[in-house]
């Protein structure tokens, strides 16, 4: 085999996976759009999502800024040198990162140091399997941290909120899967996809669950009981009313695939791998002799072009939401207290990014800039530096905010921050601080990295680069950055309300079905 051609093929696979949603996922997103009522928050979110998909196509840039932990599943003919293939994959990963197609996501677990090239101990994940066919089947999934953190594993029997006891049978499995969708809420960038693994041990169960995400969303499970269970989950999970981004709505789940393996008598695990709407999973058939791509996988049928529908949906959203409130930092407490849950906000001017490392740093140190009246954006962007040394934003969607719950309220009060932007909402500690201090939480659309990158007009500076590109504090100048108030300064939280209502709806599925 020409190993350089194989490396080039892997680079193409990485770029396409990061920037071009597969056709089965596009069909699922389109079906979700058609179910939503015009003028709702869910419809507005889906219009932004489809606009983002189109922009990623046009720009050949990451759909979502969190390009995740690359996981390859490779089947090779007997005799192929897997050591050489792995080296080629690593080289392709580093090249794609340098070109801004992947965000540098590999961090030393002990020191926190970012390798800068997505390589490091155990990364990327490459799982090889030999088979007797004469070609290489190479598949890749880019699964971001927001949805990865909503994975969940159940040990049966157990007690579940809203559903009571789940026993060691098919009906107990049903309850676990329904609960897994409920507990994700909007934090995993719903509407999402789930892979479910029944059986195994703790590690093999999760592997089986993630393996289900490599199935086409359009396939039919050959196991009759699992086929019926998949169909049941798809119908009833969407009755929970969690909706896109957790704003409420008709579609909460876009796909469900279930696999089973044997277990030992003492253990009965149900493992669920949750994936966001930005389901970046592609594959290629590679010639084992030349290393060149012969066929792309997951691309059956016509490709859905969202552009005409996006323009129509955007017009409908504008008509339905004539009042958009503009904020420009520094923001006063009086301005903040006038806002209420449900308001659509447009931000012009300055904002600062801040994720996990920044929040921990600010809890222990002074801020590098004056944050009084300012806006913090929970975002780890994809950045590229040009030949003149200027930084440019390639992708900049929100990260899941709940990770900052231990710090957020204290930091807002300490530095006078008036607004934070993220996705998925925050908890009671932050909500109490917003009411006391006079602050708001703004929910942006998770995964819409191209849409929000287009709103960023310049990068005016950066601090704390020692934490790496995703974790640094970037100074951004924005225009027309739109988000929804989901937690206000009066003690109201849309996320708390949706969680409560979806838990009540979950309880209707307590009775035995299987």
Q: Are residues 13 and 162 in the same domain?
A: no
Phi, psi of 22 (to 5 degrees): -65, 160
| Mean pLDDT confidence for 123-142 | 97
The distance of Cα 94 from the centroid of its chain, to the nearest Å, equals 22
Residues 6+ apart with CB under 8 A from 212: 195, 196, 197, 257, 258, 259, 273
Q: Please provide the average confidence, as pLDDT, over all residues in the chain.
A: 94
| Cα–Cα distance for residue pair 459/480, rounded to 1 Å | 16
In 3-state terms, what secondary structure has residue 362? helix
| Cα–Cα distance for residue pair 6/12, rounded to 1 Å | 10
pTM here? Answer: 0.92
In 3D space, the residue among 265, 299, 266 whose CA is nearest the CA of residue 281 turns out to be 299
| Mean pLDDT confidence for 496-502 | 96
Q: Are residues 301 and 388 in the same domain?
A: no
For residue 494, name the pLDDT band (cuts at 50, 70, 90).
Answer: very high
| Cα–Cα distance for residue pair 446/188, rounded to 1 Å | 8
Domain boundary, last residue among 216, 243, 275: 275
What is the model's pLDDT at position 320?
A: 53
pLDDT tens-digit map of 331-368 = 999 999 999 999 999 999 999 999 999 999 999 999 99
For residue 37, name the pLDDT band (cuts at 50, 70, 90).
Answer: confident
What is the model's pLDDT at position 106?
A: 97
For 344, other C-beta atoms within 10 Å of its C-beta total 18
Q: Are residues 330 and 269 in the same domain?
A: no
In 3D space, the residue among 333, 328, 321, 276 whose CA is nearest the CA of residue 489 turns out to be 333
In 3-state terms, what secondary structure has residue 177? helix
Q: What count of Cα atoms within 13 Å lies in the side-chain half-sphere of residue 147?
A: 32
Domain-located, residue 514: no
Q: How many domains does the chain have?
A: 3
pLDDT tens-digit map of 148-161 = 999 999 999 999 99
* For residue 145, pLDDT beyond 60: yes
| Mean pLDDT confidence for 439-461 | 95
Domain-located, residue 260: yes
Looking at the chain, the whole-number percentage of residues with pLDDT higher than 70 is 97
Instruction: Give me 44's structure tokens.
Output: 């507005």
Report helix angle 23-35 to 307-320, nearest 10.
30
Among 51-55, 251-255, 300-304, 389-393, name the one with the lowest average pLDDT: 300-304
Q: Are residues 337 and 465 in the same domain?
A: yes
Domain boundary, last residue among 211, 243, 275: 275
Q: Are residues 149 and 139 in the same domain?
A: no
pLDDT tens-digit map of 404-422 = 999 999 999 999 999 999 9
Distances (CA, A) of 33 to 26, 273, 306, 482: 11, 24, 11, 20
Q: Are residues 10 and 133 in the same domain?
A: yes
Q: Are residues 338 and 464 in the same domain?
A: yes
Domain-located, residue 397: yes
Q: Are 147 and 188 in contact (CB under 8 A)?
A: yes
In 3-state terms, what secondary structure has residue 62? coil
| Mean pLDDT confidence for 254-279 | 97
Q: Are 214 and 281 in contact (CB under 8 A)?
A: yes
Q: What count of Cα atoms within 13 Å lies in the side-chain half-sphere of residue 27?
A: 13
Q: How do the residues of the chain divide into helix, strand and coil, expressed in percent and rounded to 5?
A: 35, 25, 35
Q: Are residues 285 and 139 in the same domain?
A: yes
Residues 6+ apart with CB under 8 A from 233: 174, 177, 178, 181, 194, 253, 256
359: CATH: 3.20.130.10
What is the model's pLDDT at position 315?
A: 47
What is the model's pLDDT at position 308?
A: 55
pLDDT tens-digit map of 148-194 = 999 999 999 999 999 999 999 999 999 999 999 999 999 989 999 99
Domain-located, residue 499: no
Domain-located, residue 86: yes
Q: Are residues 219 and 157 in the same domain?
A: yes
Looking at the chain, the whole-number percentage of residues with pLDDT higher than 90 is 91
Q: Are 88 and 408 in contact (CB under 8 A)?
A: no
Q: Are residues 81 and 191 in the same domain?
A: no
Report helix angle 170-184 to 494-506, nearest 10.
170
Domain-located, residue 349: yes
| Mean pLDDT confidence for 78-105 | 97
Range of the domain at 180: 145-275
Which alpha helices (DSSP H) does 454-493 contain, by range?
none
Distances (CA, A) of 379 to 193, 433, 473: 23, 21, 9
Domain-located, residue 509: no
For residue 323, name the pLDDT band (cuts at 50, 70, 90).
Answer: confident
Instruction: Give me 352's structure tokens.
Output: 């600062």
CA dihedral 88, 93, 95, 100 (to 10 degrees): 160
pLDDT tens-digit map of 290-320 = 999 999 999 888 878 786 554 455 545 544 5
The distance of Cα 322 from the centroid of its chain, to the nearest Å, equals 29
For residue 321, name the pLDDT band (cuts at 50, 70, 90).
Answer: low
DSSP string, 206-256: HHHHHHHTTS-TT---SSHHHHHHHHHHHHHGGGS---GGGS--S-SEEEE
Beta bridge partners of 128: 74
Q: Are residues 219 and 355 in the same domain?
A: no
Domain-located, residue 357: yes
Q: Are residues 432 and 458 in the same domain?
A: yes
Q: Are 132 and 75 in contact (CB under 8 A)?
A: no
């Amino acid at each position: 085999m020409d190993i350089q051609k194989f490396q080039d093929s892997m680079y193409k696979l990485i770029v396409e996976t990061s920037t071009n949603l597969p056709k089965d996922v596009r069909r699922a997103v389109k079906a979700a759009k058609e179910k939503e009522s015009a003028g709702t928050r869910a419809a507005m979110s889906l219009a932004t999502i489809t606009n983002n998909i189109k922009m990623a196509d046009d720009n050949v840039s990451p759909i979502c800024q969190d390009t995740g932990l690359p996981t390859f599943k490779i089947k090779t003919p007997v005799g192929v040198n897997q050591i050489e293939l792995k080296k080629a994959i690593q080289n392709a990963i580093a090249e794609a990162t340098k070109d801004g197609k992947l965000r540098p996501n590999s961090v030393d677990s002990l020191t926190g140091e970012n390798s800068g090239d997505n390589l490091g101990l155990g990364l990327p994940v490459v799982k090889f399997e030999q088979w007797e066919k004469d070609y290489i089947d190479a598949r890749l999934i880019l699964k971001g941290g927001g949805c990865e953190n909503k994975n969940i594993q159940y040990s049966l029997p157990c007690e579940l909120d809203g559903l009571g006891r789940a026993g060691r049978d098919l009906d107990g499995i049903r309850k676990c899967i329904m609960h897994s969708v409920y507990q994700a809420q909007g934090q995993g960038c719903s509407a999402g996809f789930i892979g479910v693994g029944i059986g195994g041990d703790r590690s093999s169960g999760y592997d089986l669950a993630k393996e289900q995400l490599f199935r086409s969303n359009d396939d039919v499970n050959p196991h009759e009981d699992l086929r019926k269970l998949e169909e049941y989950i798809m119908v009833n999970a969407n009755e929970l009313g969690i909706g896109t981004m957790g704003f409420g709505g008709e579609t909460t789940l876009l796909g469900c695939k279930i696999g089973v393996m044997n277990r030992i008598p003492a253990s009965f695990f149900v493992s669920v791998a949750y994936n966001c709407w930005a389901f970046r999973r592609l594959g290629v058939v590679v010639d084992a002799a030349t290393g060149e791509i012969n066929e792309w996988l997951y691309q059956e049928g016509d490709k859905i072009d969202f552009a005409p529908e996006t323009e129509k949906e955007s017009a409908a959203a504008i008509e339905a939401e004539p009042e958009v409130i503009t904020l420009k930092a520094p923001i006063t407490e009086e301005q903040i207290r006038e806002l209420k849950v449900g308001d659509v906000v447009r931000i012009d001017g300055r904002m600062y990014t801040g994720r996990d490392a920044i929040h921990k740093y600010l809890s222990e140190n002074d801020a590098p800039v004056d944050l009084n009246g300012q806006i913090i954006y929970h975002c780890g962007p994809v950045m590229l530096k040009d030949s003149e040394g200027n930084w440019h934003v390639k992708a900049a969607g929100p990260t899941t905010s709940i990770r900052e719950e231990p710090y957020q309220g204290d930091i807002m009060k300490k530095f006078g921050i008036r607004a934070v932007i993220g996705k998925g909402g925050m908890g009671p500690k932050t909500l109490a601080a917003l009411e006391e201090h006079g602050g708001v939480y703004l929910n942006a659309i998770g995964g819409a990295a191209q849409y929000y990158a287009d709103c960023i007009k310049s990068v005016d500076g950066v601090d704390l680069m020692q934490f790496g590109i995703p974790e640094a504090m970037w100074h951004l100048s924005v225009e027309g950055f739109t988000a929804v108030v989901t937690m206000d300064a009066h003690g109201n939280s849309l996320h708390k309300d949706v969680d409560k209502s979806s838990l009540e709806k979950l309880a209707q599925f307590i009775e035995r079905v299987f």
